[in-house]
Amino acid sequence: MGMEKCGLTLQRGALLKFVDEEKGETTEGLFIGPEDNSDFVVVPLSETMLQKQVGEILHARCMFQGDMVQFRSKILKVIDYPVPLWRISVPTDVKKYDLRDHKRIQCSVSASIEAIHKGQFVTGILRDISKSGARCIFQSTDAPESPFEMDEKVTLRCTFPGIPGEQSALCKITEILKTEDELSIGIRFAEYAWWVPPYH
C-alpha cells in the first residue's frame, strides 16, 4: 500500500483506534475536540485505556477523507471527572494509505443504500468509488445512531455516468462515521464492479 504524509483535521465524533503493537490489541476512543486542533481531547471507550498514564506514547489510526490514517501521539493529561477524558498531543507525523484493492476515483453521483431485510432505504451521494468499494455521504439526521450497522450486508444502487441503466452491487459496510452534518458510510463490494472506471 502506498504511504504518504498528510495534514489532519478531525471532526467531532471521529472514531480513533489505538493499537498496542506489542500486545496485538486494539482499543477505541472518540475525538471530541477542540475545534482548533491545538491538541486532541479523546473519550476512552474501554477499561484497558483507562489504565494508561500521562506521558505514554499512543499509536492511533482513524479514517480521514476515505483513507486510513495512522499517527503517533502522547497523553498530556488524564481527566477522571465527570467523565474519563484524555488530552493528547496533536500528531506531527501523519501518514495515510489507501485501503482499496483498486484505484479510487472522486465523484459526485446520486446513490442509495438498501437493507431490504429490515426495510431500510437511504439516498445520498457517492463521494468516491473503486472497483472494490465506495464511500457514500448522507445528510445527517437527529437520530443518535446510523440506520446501518458494521458488517451489515446491503445493496448499493446508482446510475453511473456513461453506463446505460441502473447499476447495483451487493456490499458489506466496513466503516460508519457520523457527525452533526453528515453520515459517511464505507462499503466493500462482494464482487468486482466492472462498471467502475478505469476500463482497461
**Tens digits of residue pLDDT in 145-200:** 678 888 899 999 998 877 888 999 999 988 887 777 788 888 989 888 888 876 54
Q: Which domains does the chain have, with CATH numbers?
A: 3-97 (2.30.110.10), 105-189 (2.40.10.220)
Bridge partners (DSSP) of residue 79 are 85
pLDDT value at position 100? 52
In the chain, % of residues over pLDDT 70: 80
Nearest to 170 by CA among 158, 159, 157, 183: 157
Beta strand spans in 34-166 (E): 40-44, 57-64, 67-79, 85-88, 94-97, 105-115, 120-129, 133-139, 153-158
pLDDT at 76 exceeding the cut of 70: yes
Determine the average pLDDT of the residues in 124-131: 88
Q: Is the pTM of this model over 0.85?
A: no
